[in-house]
Every structure is written in C-alpha cells, then in structure tokens.
Amino acid sequence: MRFRHHLFICENRRPEGAPKGSCAARGGEAVRAAFKNELLKRGLNEEIRANSAGCLDLCEQGPVVVVYPEGAWYVGVRPEDVAEIVEQHLVGGRPVERLLARTFGPLQK
Ligand code: FES
C-alpha cells in the first residue's frame, strides 16, 4: 500500500508541568481524531493515512502535523483547522500557509 499523502500527527504526552509541554497536552489527540474523521467522511481514508507520531521536536509550537510527500510542517493545529487542511492541501494541493512552521523556510516545490 502506498499512500498519496501520509500525515504524522504528534501525540506525545509529557507530565504536567514539563517545561516544553507536549502536543498531547495541547490537543494533539483531538487533532488526529479530527483528521481520521474528516478523511473517512470524504472517503479519502484509503489513500491518505493519518498516523500517530511521537515527538517531532517542535514541542513548544504543537500540536505538530507533518504531511508527506511535501514535508509540510504544520504547527499549532486545532481540530477546527483540519477540514481546511484536508480541503485546501490534501485535495487542492495548496498548503495552508498560515499554519506552516517557519523553522524550515519555504516549502520546496
Ligand atoms: S511533543 Fe509534539 S513535537 Fe514534541
């Protein structure tokens, strides 16, 4: 099975009070659930995979979602953003610029 898009969604959880915080504490589990629901609703779940991931090392900016094959890093993703990412990026091919991490510079086209 080869997926058209593969999403890695950080669900790492650190103990309460940990200095970096964690994506799970910021809502990463709800974000992954929202992706799974949205993909299923649109019948895209066979071609686009939303996997749980461990720490992706942008903890302070979480929840973090990485989309391959583009290597697009989304940060601060909320469940309310998921439909937009699916529609605009995964279906339409245009990443949602306002949610992209600035850490790695512009996306390679
Ligand atoms: S805890 Fe999610 S990137 Fe580190």
- How confident is the model over 53-67, as a mean pLDDT? 97
Mean pLDDT for 21-45 is: 97
Yes or no: say if 54 and 9 are a contact pair by the CB < 8 Å rule: no
50 within a domain of the structure (yes/no):
yes
53 lines ligand 1 (CB under 6 A): no
58 lines ligand 1 (CB under 6 A): yes
Q: What is the CATH number of the domain that holds 68?
A: 3.40.30.10
Q: Beta-carbon neighbour count of residue 96 at 10 Å? A: 17
In a domain, residue 105? The reply is no
Is residue 104 in some structural domain? Answer: no
Q: What are phi and psi of 5, to 5 degrees?
A: -135, 145
Whether 85 is in the pocket of ligand 1, judged by its Cβ within 6 Å, is no
Is the CB of 12 within 6 Å of ligand 1? yes
Nearest to 95 by CA among 86, 9, 103: 86
> Ligand 1: which atom is nearest the Cα of residue 58?
3
Q: Tell the residue number behind the tokens 């290597």, with chain if given.
A: 71
Mean pLDDT, residues 39-66 taken together: 97
SS (H, E, C) 16-85: CCCCCCCCCCCCHHHHHHHHHHHHHHCCCCCCEEEEEECCCCCHHHCCCEEEECCCEEECCCCHHHHHHH
Classify residue 23 by burial, with Cβ atoms within 10 Å: 0-12, 13-18, 19+. Answer: buried
- Residue 35 is assigned to a structural domain of this protein: yes
* Structural domain count, the chain: 1
What's the confidence (pLDDT) of residue 65?
A: 98
Domain extent at residue 87: 5-99
pTM for the model stands at 0.92
Residue 92 is assigned to a structural domain of this protein:
yes
Residue 69 in domain:
yes
Across all residues in the chain, what is the average pLDDT? 94
Distance 46 CA to ligand 1 centre (A): 26
